[in-house]
Structures are given as C-alpha cells and as structure tokens.
C-alpha cells in the first residue's frame, strides 16, 4: 500500500509543479512533460496495473486543473500507459535504449492523440501550429528529464518496500 501512496505522491507533486511553475517557465521554448514521462516510466519499470491506474487518476486531476476539456488527458495518459506497457514488455526494463524508444513513442502517441481529441471537441488548432511545439528542443528537454527521472525511479523501485507484494 505504501508503494502506491509514494507513486501517487510523486505524481501529485509533479502535477502541481507542471500546472504552476512549468506553465510560466520553459526551457528554450519547450517545457518537459513530467507527468507523461513518469507514467511512461511507471509502465516500463513496475510492469503492472500501477501505471494504468495512476495514469487514469492523474489524468482526471490534470484535466480538472489545467486541461482544456475533461477527459483529454485521462484518455491520452491511459492509452500511453497501456501502449508503453505492451511495447516495453518485449524488452528489458533496465535498458536505456528501451526508455529512449518508449519516450519517442510516448511523445508521438500523446501529442497525436491530444490533437485528435481536441479536434473532436472543436478545440483544435491548425496542424502546422501544433506541430511546431514538437521540435528538437522539445525532444532533447524531455530526453534529459526522462534520463534523470529514470535514475531516481529505478532506485526507488529497488527499495525493499517496492519489491515486496505484501500489503502493509
């Protein structure tokens, strides 16, 4: 039970950070997708329902706090968690290459799905304007953030409380 509380607490802190600080400050015109990266890493490292359950919960909260429409982030985060879990199950969770490839897939799935959902809700913007945010700086910043977060989440996953299946 402590495992889920800690994982959820990490996402809540990131949600608050993303909806406040990262809304106003960006790095070279791009902001890292911390929540998305964490959901991706949970899906790779913990290989269970944790990634999906936490993706749904944090998706609902992020939709309420700063989403343009209720349901967009929930659907996108959930689909990312399921897709990354399925893809990463074919590869080693310890491999950095797996994480890098999953990050690319995550960003493509998330941005594509959000664009499609916004079009369905009549909140879409022209494709070329939306595509501008998906540039080299965006990829590099998310890659750097992912590598840093991956290190800490891997260390956390090796803690005895996280390797045990016993509920405390």
Residue 166 has pLDDT above 70, yes or no: no
Look-up: residue for tokens 């990262």? 22
Count of C-beta atoms within a 10 Å radius of residue 36? 27
Beta-carbon count within 10 A of 123 CB: 11
The single residue listed with the structure tokens 């700063």 is 66
Give the per-residue pLDDT at 45.
Answer: 87
Instruction: Confirm if 66 and 24 have CB atoms less than 8 A apart.
Output: no
Confidence at 118, pLDDT banded by 50, 70, 90: confident
pLDDT digit string, tens, across residues 67-86: 778 889 999 999 999 999 99
pLDDT at 108 over 70: yes
């Amino acid at each position: 039970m402590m495992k889920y509380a800690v994982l959820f607490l990490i996402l809540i802190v990131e949600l608050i950070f993303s909806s406040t600080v990262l809304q106003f400050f960006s790095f070279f015109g791009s902001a890292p997708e911390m929540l998305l990266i964490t959901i991706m890493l949970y899906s790779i490292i913990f290989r269970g329902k944790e990634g999906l359950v936490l993706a749904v919960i944090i998706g609902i909260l992020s939709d309420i706090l700063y989403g343009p429409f209720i349901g967009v982030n929930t659907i996108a985060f959930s689909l990312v968690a399921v897709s990354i879990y399925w893809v990463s199950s074919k590869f080693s969770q310890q491999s950095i290459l797996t994480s890098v490839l999953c990050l690319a897939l995550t960003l493509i799935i998330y941005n594509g799905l959000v664009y499609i959902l916004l079009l369905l809700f009549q909140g879409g913007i022209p494709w070329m304007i939306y595509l501008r945010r998906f540039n080299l700086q965006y990829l590099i910043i998310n890659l750097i953030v992912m590598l840093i977060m991956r290190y800490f989440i891997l260390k956390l996953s090796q803690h005895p409380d996280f390797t045990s299946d016993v509920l405390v």
